[in-house]
Amino acid sequence: MTKTVAWRNSDHLVPYPEAVAQMETRVAAIAAAKARELVWLLEHPPLYTAGTSAKREDLLDAAGLPVFESGRGGQFTYHGPGQRVGYVMMDLRRRGNDVRRFVFDLEEWLIRTLARFNVRGERREGRIGIWVASSSGKEDKIAALGIRVRRGISFHGVSLNVEPELTHFAGIVPCGIHGHGVTSLAKLGLVLSTAEVDMALRAAFEEVFAAKTAIERKRAKQSA
């Protein structure tokens, strides 16, 4: 297990500005070696966020929902009840400062979480996020990710569509990707509790990152 990583599970809707403020504080503390790394699982009230690459024309109709500028990478996305967000505050300085590999591992985390519910999630070249085949033969997005790194510490993270209001995604071009839909575990016929999803997320995370930690320790010992 990744013993340096603490976990927090919020069972109420966390306002986006509050979550960002808490992440900022935690990132500074981790960078100063005053706090443990943290994975925070939560949900937000309905809202849109604009990443650093967001294009104004991709905000089609906010329909009264708040829009927040976000320092994470990526474009527009929707957050709301029924979507489990995982904010990942980890020290990449201890992991080779390899941001590309870290993103790959976050994708693997989502893929393995879905696999625990017998859902096959896949990466697609040129399309950020995790994708599943729909009954119509098209591919729909079921999970998204976007991170920021400050002083070697990651924050923001991933989101998994459990049972969100999918019509809200029509207000944006999700992640700037045209021609594809958005789906959820509920739309795929899976009715799951938050506790079940959180258990799967944690187990899959530890599966991915505990293995990496063991390899990194072995390499450090060999180079010592």
Distance CA 133, CA 34 (A): 44
193: three-class secondary structure by DSSP: coil
Give the tokens for residue 209. Answer: 């990152």
212 contacts 4 by C-beta, under 8 angstroms: no
> What residues form DSSP beta bridges with 48?
67, 78
Spot the catalytic one: 106, 158, 175, 182.
175
The residue among 7, 66, 73 whose CA lies nearest residue 42 is: 7
Letter string b/e over residues 76-88, b meaning 16 or more CB atoms within 10 A of that residue's CB: bbbbbebbbbbbb
171 is catalytic: no
Cα 135 off chain centre by: 25
Distance CA 67, CA 62 (A): 7
Residues serving a catalytic function are 175
